[in-house]
Structure 1
Amino acid sequence: MATSQLSDSRFTRLIQRIDSVLCAHHELCDHLANLEISMEGSRIVLRGQLPSVALKQALVPAIRQAGVLGQVCNCVEIG
């Protein structure tokens, strides 16, 4: 149980760092309500919708700025 709590805490801090970086991004900040960030196994999974390919392509580099070194799966749709 302690391991699960540590993982939950670590995941919560990671999501907070990602949210902070995305909020600071001048273009992505306006679209955070349309995005869902989750953890599946050891990878970060992004889902939701953005209005342009350029914004979708900006997601992973922004998340890397939050210190995410592992796999990021960008499943965001354009629409």
Structure 2
Amino acid sequence: MATTQFSDSRVTNLIQRIDTVLCAHHELCNHLADLKISMEGSRIVLRGHLPSVALKQALVPAIRQAGVLGQVCNCVEIA
């Protein structure tokens, strides 16, 4: 049970770091309400909608700035 709580805490902290980096991004910050970030297994999964391909492509480098070294699955659609 303690391992699960620790894991949940780690996931929460990681997602908070990602949110902080995305909030600081001058273009992505305006679209955070349209994005959902989750952890599925050992990878970060991004879902939602963005208005351009350029913004979608900016997501992964921004998330890397949050210290995410693992797999990132960018399932964001262009709307």
Distance 1:34 1:28 in 2: 10
Corresponding residue for residue 55 of structure 2: 55
Corresponding residue for residue 38 of structure 1: 38
* 1:42 partner amino acid: S
Deviations 1:49-79 (CA, angstroms, capped at 9, x unpaired):
0000000000000000000000000000001
Corresponding residue for residue 73 of structure 1: 73
SS in 1 for 2:38: strand
* 1:18 partner amino acid: I
Task: Report sequence identity in percent.
Answer: 87
Corresponding residue for residue 22 of structure 1: 22
Long gaps (5+) in structure 1: none
SS in 1 for 2:6: helix
Distance 2:7 2:64 in 1: 20
Long gaps (5+) in structure 2: none
Aligned length: 79
User: TM-score, with normalisation over the residues of structure 1?
Assistant: 0.99
